[in-house]
Amino acid sequence: MSSALASDAKTAGRRGALLIWATAAAVYLMAVFHRTSLGVAGLEAAERFHIGSAALGTFTVLQIGVYAAMQIPTGLLVDRFGPRRVLTAAALFMGLGQLLFAFAASFPLALTARAVLGLGDAMTFVSVLRVVAAHYPPRRYATLAAITATFGSFGNLVATVPLTLLLDNAGWTTTFAIAGGLTFCYSLAVALRVRDTPRGTPAQPAAAIPLRQVAGHVRAAWVVPGTRLGFWVHFTTMFTPAALGLLWGFPYLVQAQGMSDAQAGAVLSLLVVVGMVLGPFIGETTGRRPILRLPIVWAFLTGAITVWAVLLGWPGGVVPGPVVVAAIGFLSLGSPVSSIAFALARDYNPIARVGTATGVVNVGGFCAITTTSLAVGVLLGGNTADAGPADFRVAFLAIAALLLLGTWRTWVWWRRARAAVFAATERGEAVPVRIRRRAWDIPTLAAGEAQPEPATP
């Protein structure tokens, strides 16, 4: 009887954890929806606010900038107040921002609305991963992180055809007011359903960190080689598909490769579809066999460097259609592979610091996206409408340069993280992944180098 009761309790615990994760992940789905909703409303926005393409692009740059700037503060907030409160605030901010956007009649007010929306968006992903870290064992973390990212992709899909139909039939104000109102109300479900710790486990909120000690808390996460490795993995794997999907992929395919708008849209849809299909598979594989995490990263980076060498080196700059499709399809893997970075942050930091470490890692990819987007625009010389294959070949050298920089730094911190694991093993300490020493490994850890502090299950 006691065995049956224990089994029932275990099943109930799994169902409870799944419900908590699903409730939290729905906030991230909404965040992706709100983040990408302007993609199909750009023409309406330009007409409504009487702005040109440069001002319209400010909406995206502002939102990404707010997102990147808020990652470390979000991690600190999650570690201090718990993910439930932060996710509740995120839903409130996103709802408020979208409602303000619905009724905005001027460009400055619309920018303010998108900034508020970006603030709420920035608080979601790190919080959801903190929920996963608290409710699931480390071996399930990579899988749930990848599924969370895939779940968010549905928000991207909802922000295309369904949102377009609603805009055409209901109009600007009604469409965005509905989206904002539903998100605002959903904050109540988050407050009631999400738990910071599993049921039966006493919540132990972190002590308030004095302002003068905040930098030290962030530094404690940053100096851990596993965190730094996660930062560069996220930096290097995520930015290419994101930069293509958010801004430069469409003009490149249409103006440099001669595709129609419909063809370009279909090719760019691979950036979403490939991630949705392969993300959970990569997460499950690396969750069951964490030893494969970095080999998968290296395989992707090697392939990505090869892809860009082909695209940039093709004679004349006009690449055959099948080659372009295969290239975009391969680069789409960068998004699901980037989830490996969060597993590294989770494994090499104590649970009380996982939120901060995750925020630090998440900054990597968005710094790279912002840098790439601006650099490509500068190299195009502000003449995007008339840019041809040769122009994009020069501009996309920025992507290749950043890819090589990130690959080099990933290599450096991979070796240092391995040295930290070897040092911990020699001291008889438990390590997240047992590895074999290779010829390229650092013989000994540098004096003063931070040691791994595995997160508790």
Task: Tell me where in the chain the CATH 1.20.1250.20 domain(s) lie.
Answer: 12-197, 220-440
pLDDT reported for residue 8: 41
pTM of the model as a whole: 0.78
The CATH-assigned architecture of domain 12-197 is: Up-down Bundle (1.20)
Rounded to whole angstroms, how far apart are CA atoms 78 and 132? 13
CA gyration radius, the chain: 22
Rounded to whole angstroms, how far apart are CA atoms 271 and 64? 18
Spell out the SS3 assignment of 206-270. CCCCCHHHHHHHHHHHHCCHHHHHHHHHHHHHHHHHHHHHHHHHHHHHHHHCCCCHHHHHHHHCH
Q: What angle separates helix 354-380 from helix 340-347, to the nearest 10 degrees? A: 150
CATH topology of domain 220-440: Growth Hormone; Chain: A; (1.20.1250)
How far is residue 176 from each of residues 22, 56, 169, measured CA to CA in Å?
24, 17, 13
pLDDT reported for residue 130: 87
H helix runs in 138-196, sequence order: 138-158, 161-170, 172-193
pLDDT reported for residue 420: 83
Shortest CA distance to 347 belongs to which of 295, 275, 395, 286? 286
pLDDT reported for residue 13: 58
pLDDT reported for residue 11: 54
Beta-carbon contacts of residue 198 (< 8 Å; ≥ 6 apart)? 13, 16, 17, 134, 135
Is residue 98 within 8 A of residue 33, CB to CB? The reply is no
pLDDT reported for residue 203: 55
pLDDT reported for residue 6: 47
DSSP 272-295: HHHHHHHHHHHHHHHHH-GGGHHH
pLDDT reported for residue 5: 43
pLDDT reported for residue 242: 81
pLDDT reported for residue 46: 76
Could you tell me the mean pLDDT of each successive run of 10 residues in the chain, 457 residues long? 48 75 92 79 77 68 82 84 92 95 91 91 89 83 80 74 79 91 94 83 56 70 90 92 78 84 78 82 84 93 96 89 92 89 86 81 86 80 70 89 95 88 77 74 59 47
